Amino acid sequence: MSENDGDDLGLTGVTAGQVRRTSKLAIVGAGAVGSTMAYAALMRGAARSVALYDINKAKVEAEALDLGHGIQFMPMAEVVGSDDIAVCTGADVVVVTAGAKQKPGQSRIDLAEATISLVGKILPPLVEVAPDAVYIMVTNPVDIVTYAALQQSGLPPTQMFGSGTVLDSSRLRYLIAKQTGVAVQNVHAYVAGEHGDTELPLWSSATIGAVPLLEWNGINGRGPLTSEVRDGIAREVVESAYRIIEGKGATNYAVALAGSRIIEAVIKDEQRILPVSSLLDGYHGIRDVCLSVPALVGRDGVGERLEVPMSADELAGLRRSAETLRAVARRFGF
């Protein structure tokens, strides 16, 4: 067995007569985000079997067929698509992308009511066919949807979490890299809080290389990251999704890549630190709300949350974000 086979199958020392178990990813929703996430996961070799589920039979079968035709150019995998929820049976990871589509000018919170209702109908049959899967909610508004889904499903809070600010953190790192002229891979910074308007960059713990971001003096004629520059970057992180939606109708590439990275962390049990949206219970005094903070992600789902050092302003901002989300959850009866 090759090293790649071991990663894909999640097994070592398989003997004759044993059934070799392949890693299985199920994606609920074959729209722009779901189908692109399937593509990204396949290209990265994140799972050996990918199942797409959607109520639109023609659409989901066509997406699976189109993806299947390109398998020879990817790490080996199987792709199936169906309008029968049984296609998700036995999945290791279930990613929920189905939901109401965000329109230009519409906030993520405006989407909440219709999406919560939809997710509430989808979850019980999903949990029935894939009770042991780790569930990753991607549908917006992801924090409220994740909180509602935990109540609706009865799953433990380690087993279900949202994609949170993994994408926002990627946008932040991209903009910092662009401003400073260094590779994005050398920028380490997180966005915390709501995946939305009240999110906040954690500037005080961010680094460029090994240099604390707040001590960065600039290189190659580029100046330091002043408070004015940081404010502009933070604003662009929040507003970039609205710009993309206005221009092309949906965000799909970056969110699919972010999602596939989370999927890999689970299937390969990486214990990777990612700012996913999970149910907090005493994090810096915050509880009973789903929002994003850096956390360990592995085979069992979301684990320990890292108590990242924060400035007084950052901690106050995180608490404001939590209160905003709690108020919205109450509005929808959760």
Per the residue annotation, which of 69, 188, 195, 284 is the catalytic one? 195
Rounded Cα–Cα distance for residues 100 and 297 (Å): 27
Q: Would you call 188 a catalytic residue per the annotation?
A: no
Angle between helices 32-44 and 57-68 (to 10 degrees): 20
In the chain, the amino acid numbered 123 is L
Question: What residue has token string 């709690």?
Answer: 326
Rounded Cα–Cα distance for residues 21 and 86 (Å): 18
Rounded Cα–Cα distance for residues 313 and 305 (Å): 20
Contact 79, 67 (CB under 8 A): yes
Contact 222, 179 (CB under 8 A): yes
Contact 9, 20 (CB under 8 A): yes
Rounded Cα–Cα distance for residues 303 and 51 (Å): 26
Helices (H), the chain: 3-9, 32-44, 57-68, 112-129, 142-153, 166-180, 227-248, 253-267, 312-331
**Any idea which residues carry the catalytic annotation?**
195
